[in-house]
Amino acid sequence: MLIQLSFYTFAGDCLEMRSTALSYATYDCDWYELPTNVARDFQIILMRASIPHQLTAGKFLPMNMIMFKDILKSTASYLSVLRVMLNE
């Protein structure tokens, strides 16, 4: 289950990074020197790409490597509490 979760979070992290890179790449090209109808299209692309796309878990949590780290930290703390409770 942990491996499957890591695959989802890795894919979500890649999607987020590439959508951010798309925004930067669109801005870095010389869109302002293009004809006005094409420049308007580039402005629409810039507006849509300004918010990075994310995979989410039920539209509640973003599935990225930061969330994977947080899940691992929580799991480790829960397991340590369980281990202490079982030893008593």
The pLDDT tens digits of the residues spanning 58-82 come to 889 899 999 999 999 999 999 999 9
Q: Where are the domains of the chain?
A: 1-87
What tokens does 58 get? 């039920």
Measured torsion, CA atoms of residues 48, 49, 50, 53, in degrees rounded to the nearest 10 = 100
Is-contact 3 26, C-beta < 8 A? no
Is-contact 11 66, C-beta < 8 A? no
Distance CA(58)–CA(80), nearest Å, equals 28
Is the pLDDT confidence value at 11 over 90? yes
